[in-house]
Amino acid sequence: MKPAICFRPRHWLLAALLAAGTAQAADPLVTDPPRGTFPPGQAELAIPSHGARMNGFLYTAAGPGPHPLAIFLHGYPGNERNLDLAQAARRAGWNALYFDYRGSWGSGGTFSFGNALEDVAAALAFVRDPANAAKYRIDPRRIALVGHSMGGGLTLLATARDPGVTCAATLAAWNFGGAPARWKAEPAEGKEMADYFRATTDPDAGPLRAKAGDLEAELAAHGAEWDVVAHAADLKDRHLLVIADTGTPMDIATYQAFTAALHQAGASHLQALTYDDDHPFSAHRVALAKGLVKWLGSECSP
């Protein structure tokens, strides 16, 4: 007697495929947003700062909004712009702003560390302007700063000064305010940075329109007030994501000193981790995007 052959519908396979498709659709690392009535887009911006024009652009998220906003702050001089992270944030429903500080990469004016700190405040004022917030569908109550290297230092200083910024993420933050004191203990590192200042500045061109000697003098004069470790108590109640690379001694030193100061101050919303990588996290771009998007969704949403 031949065994009966029974054909069963593969409902389980269909369900698995649908579930996989749904999971993928919700993953901003691999899924593009829908066009819809309010499609994603990009807007070129001219952001005013102290009489000069800063070049910038805004990745606008899909949907009517208003959307939360992540502002990406580049480092010194700014070769790594982290636009892959900005695109991931946009796919996750965040508007993402990138701009170049005064005197950097074609923006008007002169570059300096103090000017860059003022420029972050100018960008915040621009997106909070009711007309701009309405035009670009921005929720001005939900703004996160995301800074790399020098931009990480700017992120922490600007957040300490601005109570309206509740979320701040730093990637390999350079504590430029604490640099002069460090260079006394590490003179070879200080010489290397002085050489880099000369290689990246030109009063008439760039990439940074500045004089190397002026930048060194500025840090010598204002380093103590810009030392992010000294501002840990001002940041203890903010939602912070602090990521460091182990490949750069200056970065890991900043990470260790700053996170220790935050713990001592009683920081209540701190996520801190390190990657065994170089300064721009060349081997961890997907991990950075995944971690940033997860943090934005869990820590910076009402």
Please give the share of the chain, as a percent, with pLDDT higher than 70: 91
| CA 113/CA 272 separation, integer angstroms | 26
Please give the share of the chain, as a percent, with pLDDT higher than 90: 83
| CA 257/CA 49 separation, integer angstroms | 32
State residue 302's pLDDT score.
Answer: 62
3-state DSSP assignment of residue 15: helix
Q: Are strands 138-148 and 167-171 parallel, antiparallel or unpaired?
A: parallel
**Has residue 119 got a pLDDT over 90?**
yes
Average pLDDT over residues 54-75: 97
State residue 1's pLDDT score.
Answer: 42
**Has residue 120 got a pLDDT over 50?**
yes
**Structure confidence at residue 28 as a pLDDT band (50, 70, 90):** confident
Taken in order of first residue, the domains within the chain and their CATH numbers are 35-299 (3.40.50.1820)
Q: Which two tokens stand for residue 90?
A: 């946009």
Which residues, in sequence order, are CB contacts of 124 under 8 Å at separation 6+? 71, 143, 158, 162, 164, 165
| CA 292/CA 260 separation, integer angstroms | 22
Do 87 and 59 contact (CB within 8 A), yes or no?
yes
CA dihedral 148, 149, 151, 155 (to 10 degrees): 80
